[in-house]
Amino acid sequence: MAEPVALLALVIDAAIGWPPALYNVVGHPVGAFAKLIEGCEGRWNNHARGEPFRRIAGVITVVILVAFAGGIGFLIEYALALWLGQWAWIGVALCAAPGLAQRSLHDHVLPVMRALMAGDLAEARVFVGMIVGRDTAALSESGVTRATIESLAESFCDGVAAPLFWLLWLGLPGLWAYKAINTADSLIGHREERWRAFGWAAARTDDMANLIPARLSAMVICLAGMGGWRMMIRDAGKHASPNAGWPEAAMAGAIGIRLAGPIAYDGIVHDKPWIGDGRADASADDIRRALAIYRRACLILWIMAGGAAWVL
């Protein structure tokens, strides 16, 4: 039996997350990735140099970022092995826990549900605006609910399942390399003119890194929700992303609601297709159900992480 590094990391994250007091003092590790990305973007994403140059510069940025994040992870594992010997795995788990987002995601979704249950739509819009990129000022209760559940489902992959997958596969270097890639995609992997060429490599690398985890996370959601398989298979491809549609379609099917549909960004409405064929009038109770599925899905990942340690 191998050391249960991933399982302990999940337990630590669920128990304490990344405490606000610690965040206020040192920030979060992904902040270092963000600064590196912003530095490269400021130096190389010069539109006067043409699209080919910016695309190559974006590739170089991703290579530097992955080498930096993976290299730091490798050095930490190596140093812990020298310092702690057979107990190094505990230190690795402690260093891996900040790369997981079980508690953070749950704690960001819960206030939206509570605000809606209290009848305070204005406050719910503020809270959901902290976790989604779309316009939220005019969202109805159903719109707030759908946005929240979509973010919960997609972030279950990006924030929990995918980092865990790469931790199990490549250890601490794999987890932090994935977090660096995912951070780059969030910051520069956009289709707007400013980012399209420079952020191309970040977006495509993130797509590849999430290819397996997205589908695994969708299956875990279906298991946790005791349903959603048909909708997952039917509607996963309706999303613009090759990966995000999988967990979203699984959650839509498990709860029995419709997600996505027309969405406004920066005042422009995008007529996106609906995912799922259930109710469109989603409510706070659906967020409660989604959170219950999310918690069970995380528990399934705990079992899988423990099983991986036992097998390996």
Question: For residue range 224-242, what is the model confidence (pLDDT) as tens digits?
Answer: 999 999 999 999 999 989 9
Question: For residue range 79-136, what is the model confidence (pLDDT) as tens digits?
Answer: 999 999 999 999 999 999 999 999 999 999 999 999 999 999 999 999 999 998 887 8
Exposed / middle / buried, residue 32 (Cβ in 10 Å: 0-12, 13-18, 19+): middle
Here the tokens at position 312 are: 């390996």
Residue 261: which pLDDT band, with cuts at 50, 70 and 90? confident
CB 263 within 8 A of CB 272: yes
> Which one has a higher pLDDT value, 193 or 35?
35
Exposed / middle / buried, residue 178 (Cβ in 10 Å: 0-12, 13-18, 19+): buried
Give the largest CA-CA distance in the chain: 57
Q: Which of 104-113, 129-138, 262-271, 282-291 has the lowest mean pLDDT?
A: 262-271
Q: Break the chain into its structural domains and give their ranges.
A: 5-311
**Alpha-carbon gap, residue 273 to 94, rounded angstroms:** 41
pTM over 0.75: yes
According to the model, what pLDDT value does residue 295 have? 98
Question: For residue range 29-88, what is the model confidence (pLDDT) as tens digits?
Answer: 899 999 999 999 999 998 888 899 999 999 999 999 999 999 999 999 999 999 999 999
